[in-house]
Amino acid sequence: MTRIPSPAPNGRRLMAVELEIDLFCQGLRVDSNCQLERDARSYVKARAGLGSGLELVIPGKRDIWMNAPVHEHFTANSPYVLRLDERGYHVLHEPSGTEYAVRIPPAPAWYERKASTGTPMREIGVLQGTYLGFYLGKACAFWNSDPRENCRFCATGLNVGAPGGDKPMKTVEEVVETAKAARAESGVSFVHFNTGYQTGAGLDLCAPFVKAIKEQAGALVGVQAAPTKELHKYDWIVECGADHLSFCYELHNPAYFERYLPGKHKHLGQDAFFKAMEYASRLMGKGRVSGEIIAGIEPIEDTLRGIDYITSVGAFPTVCIFRPVIGTDMEHAESPRYEDMRVVFQHVYESCMKNGVPIGLAPNIEVSLVVQPTDAEELAPPSWRKTLYQAKLRLMRAAVGAIFEAQLKPRRIKADAEKPPQPSLTSGRRG
């Protein structure tokens, strides 16, 4: 594997995506002159299992949104410090004196409002980059089993139901109200539902929310639930309005999957993720489904194999850089190395390119918890294949613009979201 030296010591000015990767790996210290209580979105939530940091935007060839680690132990030794002066916020690489201007997205006004149920909207939905994320249902069942079977890196159980954290068992009504506020005031175009493990009922739980968002708020909708063997339910959730499905299998190496994901190993198995992702990708078409993995826990060669597998089935890889979040079972583990992560994200882009997986077509979806395939474009060296791929993506973007515009308007959904269809009628349609 090619080793690329960490950019930090030689003081070379980094491309935005390189800075993003290095900040994920080394974290960010916050200078005492910063006024983040005034200027930033709340940055204390241990949301989404791997996110607990500071949302910021790195301007570059394209703006890159990221959630920079600021709380974890490893961040204390970071060479990067966030400063505020009369020019605004910037990240200083102290050893070299190199500065990078950044923007700190402010908290939206609706965070402080209450839904009609009385719950503060900030406890219902959260902005992660430019999209709106909702956790649905009870806290993930792996956190409540005895002994606990939670994924070792995960912080969801520390947040859902905790004081000031995510409200469990949200109602459709309050979710729709929050989504409407975020659509109108924050320009959100993508709503994402995540359920953790709901003992097999993840898609049933999400369906009424998906339908309500499509009918009342009008947004693109993504769903991430534990995989089901009842494959006909993927047809159903798409009929209810899901535009995107993601499958979070985390680790490609089966031995690491078993060791770090005890609940997923015991109750689901890695193969269930593969079968469901392959089915959903055939059902929805190339680039509509994603496979989510974490880089920095298993050997990098396994991560690269995982990326190739995901793109080979027509899905796109969503790769998180492992973050040892405080309070999790892995809080004292080492953060990954920049050199390895750079290789991973160059591979993400090249693997999408090789398999013709379309990326970056949907409007205004910037995901702060991961380095997106589109972020990684600059890591791939110029080649005729890259030129062709980029030209094709430009054409596709122009062609699907009107389709996305129509999908962002509220529309009637015929499917019954309260009642999944009988398996005998539709099961295996794409199998």
Query: Contact positions toward ligand SF4, by CB under 6 A?
Result: 49, 140, 142, 150-151, 154, 156, 196-197
Q: Please say which residue, 53 or 227, places its beta carbon nearer to ligand SF4.
A: 227
Q: How far is the C-alpha of 159 from the C-alpha of 375, rounded, in Å?
A: 29
Nearer to ligand SF4, 127 or 151 (CB): 151
Are 92 and 327 in contact by the 8 Å Cβ rule? The answer is no
Q: Answer yes or no: are the C-beta atoms of 294 and 320 closer than 8 Å.
A: yes
C-beta closer to ligand SF4: residue 108 or 196: 196
In angstroms, what is the minimal distance from the CB of 349 to ligand SF4? 25
As measured in angstroms, the least distance from the Cβ of 248 to ligand SF4 is 6
Please provide the size of the chain in residues: 431
**Separate counts of helices (H) and strands (E) for the chain:** 14, 13
For the chain, the farthest-separated pair of C-alpha atoms sits apart, in whole angstroms, at 66
Cα separation, 77 vs 122, whole angstroms: 31
d(CA 99, CA 297): 30
Q: Radius of gyration over alpha carbons of the chain, in Å?
A: 21
Closest approach of Cβ 262 to ligand SF4, in Å? 9
Least distance to ligand SF4, CB of residue 156, Å: 4
Find, among 293, 267, 265, 398, the residue nearest to 351 by Cα: 293
| Shortest Cβ 250–ligand SF4 spacing (Å) | 7
275 vs 386 by CB, closer to ligand SF4: 275
Q: Which is nearer to ligand SF4, 199 or 390 (CB)?
A: 199
Between residues 100 and 142, which has the closer beta carbon with respect to ligand SF4?
142
Q: Provide the 8-state DSSP code for 422.
A: P
Residue whose CB is less far from ligand SF4, 49 or 291: 49
Amino acid at 106: P
Q: Considering the complex, what minimum distance in angstroms separates the CB of residue 408 from ligand SF4?
A: 29
Question: Taking the complex as a whole, how short is the minimal distance between the CB of residue 224 and ligand SF4, in angstroms?
Answer: 9
Nearer to ligand SF4, 224 or 368 (CB): 224
Among residues 196, 214, 99, 185, which one has the least CA distance to residue 155? 196
CA dist 361 and 48 (Å) reads: 24
CB of 266 to ligand SF4, least distance (A): 12
CA distance 338 to 37: 30
237: nearest Cα among 58, 408, 416: 416
User: Any bridge partners for residue 81, and if so which?
Assistant: 29, 92
